[in-house]
Amino acid sequence: MTAPEPDLRHHGDAEVRADGLGLVDLAVNVRTGTPPTWLRERLAATLGDLAAYPDQGAARAAVAARHARPVGEVLLTSGAAEAFVLLARVLTPRHIVVVHPQFTEPEAALRDAGHRVHRVLLSPGDGFRLGGVPEEADLVVLGNPTNPTSVLHPAEAVAALARPGRTLVVDEAFMDTVPGERESLASVRDLPGRVVVLRSLTKTWGLAGLRIGYALGPAPLIAELGAAQPLWPVSTPALVAAEACSGAAALAEAERAAAELALWREHLVKGLAAFDSVRLYGEPAASFVLVRLPEAAAVRRRLREHGFAVRRGDTFPGLGEEWLRIAVRDEETTDRFLDALGAVLGSA
């Protein structure tokens, strides 16, 4: 029997919203305690400017400076997800490859635009190591670090996919959760073909409700994508957020948060290792981990009874019902989760 197609439109927020009142959220990968106070104040200060139409000048310049690029290579978007839709509408590729498991919105956007999508499924057996992209692919989409695997691909391996005649789209929405943003291609401008790097301010700064992200790439393609946007696509508060989060003080704060996150993730991984039935594949590098365990769907439901929401894995192509994604939280929250997981597995 053919396995059902995964639900590409399912996201972690559904795990929390579905009868999720009072659940500890380990299903969504937004940093807790955000936006920080200083950012809230900057956003609140924009309320007096809402009568004027948004002006992207300062925000684009700040993002461009942050990544050492000309302003013409920056496109501000209504969340990184808008960039997937724009790419799907503007590009006319003949052979599209989406590397899975990864965030499902790119494929969903491409299919909605009428494109045929080929999948390359990475294997847990080798830690989801990057490979298998056919030479004829003229549009390749992948994440780094990848949602939901948390695997950080070497920049050299990602860059090796760039070539003349190909558009390479790298979703770096979680790159700022990695100390030093090692393996990023955001400031690399000399690769062959067209390389587009997508970024989000949602995860580190807690701005999912504000919708702000951006694309970095060759100026001609950025101009094409911009022409496909509606007028004034990014609100004034979102523009202020992009400018503020690109400054030196914000980048230093993000680096400290990434370093702290790495310690919390190590604590979670060590705790998970105590369960014989729980397995990790590859080395997690982002703000979540992906685990495989028997009867994961039942475990997920039982965890809800213990007050915790985690993300199901079967909606990601290449995974199945035995997978769960768990957000990294502070050590106290993680210890409470591990206790709940122990109770659930012990009663299975």
pLDDT at 11: 80
Give the pLDDT confidence of 52-79 residue by residue, as tens digits: 999 999 999 999 999 999 999 999 999 9
Query: Chain-wide mean pLDDT for the chain?
Result: 96
pLDDT given for residue 14 in this prediction: 79
CB of 7 closer than 8 Å to CB of 315? yes
Q: Contact 161/133 with Cβ under 8 angstroms?
A: yes
Instruction: For residue 215, give the nearest of 101, 13, 337, 69 by alpha carbon.
Output: 69
Q: What are 96-144's pLDDT values in tens digits?
A: 999 999 999 999 999 999 999 999 999 999 999 999 999 999 999 999 9
Averaged pLDDT, 283-292: 98
Q: What pLDDT was estimated at residue 8? A: 86
Q: Which residues are bridge partners to 310 per DSSP?
A: 26
0.85 exceeded by the pTM?
Answer: yes
Residue with tokens 């503007």: 90
User: Residue 7: what pLDDT?
Assistant: 85
For residues 321, 327, 332, 337, the Cα torsion angle rounded to the nearest 10 degrees is -10
pLDDT tens digit string along 175-227? Answer: 999 999 999 999 999 999 999 999 999 999 999 999 999 999 999 999 999 99
Amino acid 13: pLDDT: 83
- Categorise residue 55: left if φ over 0, alpha if ψ from -120 to 50, beta otherwise: beta
